[in-house]
Each structure stands twice: as C-alpha cells, then as structure tokens.
Amino acid sequence: MSRRWLLPALVLATMVGAWQVAASSGAIAATLRLEDFLVPAPSEIAASLWENRSLLADNAWVTLQEVLLGFGFALVVGLGAAVVLHLSETLRRATYPLIVASQTVPIIVIAPILVVWFGYGIGPKLAIVALICFFPIVVNTLDGLRSVDPDATKMMRTLDASRWQTFRRVEAPTALPYAFSGAKIAVAVAVIGAVFGEWAGSDSGLGHLMLLDNAQLETARLFASVVVLSAIAIALFGLLALAERRIVTWR
C-alpha cells in the first residue's frame, strides 16, 4: 500500500524543494521581473499558514459550510432526480437533453446575478455549489441505473420481485459505484463553486480572504488560502473514496 504513495510523494517533495530553492534564491522573481516579496517560498507559505491559523480556520469554516451544504443538497436532489428520470421514460426524454444542454451554461458566471438577487449571505454560494454539483451526480447515477442487465430484471420478475424489490436489490446496488463517481467529481468542483460565489460578493470565507490578500499584495497568505482550499477538496474526495471502499465491497 505505502509503495503506491512512495513515488508520487517523492515527485511532490522534489517539486516543492525545487520551488523552495528557486524562490528563496530570487531566481523566479528575477526571471519574472518581480519584487522578491511577491514570490513566496514554500517555507514562507508554511510560516504564513501557522501565523494566520485562526484567521484561515475561521474563513475555511465558512467556505467548508458552503461546500458541504451545497453538495449535500445537490446529492439529495440529484439522486432523487436520477431515480425519477430512470423510472419515467417520458420525463427522461423530456428533460434529459435539457439537463445536458444546461451544462454549456457557465454556471459560475451567473454568481453575480445571484448576489444581486440574494445578497451577500450564504444563499448565493449554496446555489452555485449545488448547481455545479447537481450535473455529475445526476448523469452518473442515471448511467448506473440504466446499465442494469435487462436479463437480471427479467430474472427478478420470475423470482416474484415487485418493482420496488427489483430497484432495491438490483438497480440501486448496480448504480451505487456510478453515484460515488459522480459525487467525487461533484465534491471537487464544489470547492471551486464556493470560491467563485465568494468572489462575486461576500464578507467572509477563503475566497473573500483571497480577494483582500490580492488587493494588499499578501502573496504568502494568498498561497496559504490556496493550500487550505486544496486540502479541503482533497480531504472531502478522500472521505468519499473511503466511504466507497467501505460500502462497495464487491468491486
């Protein structure tokens, strides 16, 4: 198991090390013709992470709430929608092309509109996060439900299964790994959605903090926010992957 992580860890360490040397020697700043303080080395970012730990934690909590609530809402509605579209062919034919087409709308750019409508609170962020999470969850889960072997459905009918029993014993377990794939994609984009929502208008959150740091040329803390955001995304993805391994034991 640990072997699997050894090489990627080495590559990462080498890259961070190279960055440390290049940044602290001023090589990057010189090449890009920037002031030295605009190019923080990993050690400075680490220091900033530590010094600003309570500020970062407070704002990370705001962003994490937006991500979790928006994702949770999309998960419930998305799974429900997938089941409904699976059960009703008419509804699927009527709405599925629209759901797919809606993905060409760059949802994050409607964030400013939502801020105009709903203000600076958590509402617009939840809406953005939920909207971008919805699609991968619905599409993957529906794919999973539709991938059920028709012979298995026939077999269940001759074994006296009701529609609900076929759903619960065959269709839902078949779709479960697909739903997990959708959720893992969704949780990664959820963080992006939350930050865009905050950029459009907010008074707290890591996205908000990044705008302030940007204006004040606090580049080390700017990077620190990026590190925290990445950590949130990786942690949530990891939790889902772990849950998947626990639940989908037959793969």
Instruction: Output the smallest distance, CB 180 to other proteins, in A.
Output: 14
Q: Which of 88, 147, 162, 216 binds other proteins (CB under 8 A)?
A: 162
Residue 179 interacts with other proteins (CB under 8 A)?
Answer: no
Residue 146 interacts with other proteins (CB under 8 A)?
Answer: no
Q: Which of 91, 102, 105, 157 binds other proteins (CB under 8 A)?
A: 157
Residue 89 interacts with other proteins (CB under 8 A)?
Answer: no
Instruction: Output the smallest distance, CB 161 to other proteins, in A.
Output: 4
Q: Are 169 and 230 in contact (CB under 8 A)?
A: no
Q: Which of 151, 203, 215, 246 binds other proteins (CB under 8 A)?
A: 151
Residue 173 interacts with other proteins (CB under 8 A)?
Answer: yes
Name the strand (E) or helix (H) holding 127: helix 123-146
- Which stretch in 38-46, 133-141, 168-176, 227-235 sits in contact with other proteins by CB under 8 A? 168-176
- Name the amino acid, one letter, at 188: A
Residue 160 interacts with other proteins (CB under 8 A)?
Answer: yes
Q: How far apart are CA 122 and CA 129, in angstroms?
A: 11
Residue 250 interacts with other proteins (CB under 8 A)?
Answer: yes
Closest to other proteins by CB, 133 vs 175, is: 175
Nearest to 62 by CA among 225, 250, 248, 242: 225
Residue 159 interacts with other proteins (CB under 8 A)?
Answer: yes
- Which stretch in 15-23, 58-66, 83-91, 152-160 sits in contact with other proteins by CB under 8 A? 152-160
- Which stretch in 52-60, 89-97, 147-155, 219-227 sits in contact with other proteins by CB under 8 A? 147-155
Considering only residues 230 to 249 of the shown chain, the ones binding other proteins according to CB under 8 A are 249
How many residues sit in the footprint of other proteins (CB under 8 A)?
Answer: 19
Footprint of other proteins (CB under 8 A): 149, 151-152, 154-162, 165, 169-170, 173, 249-251
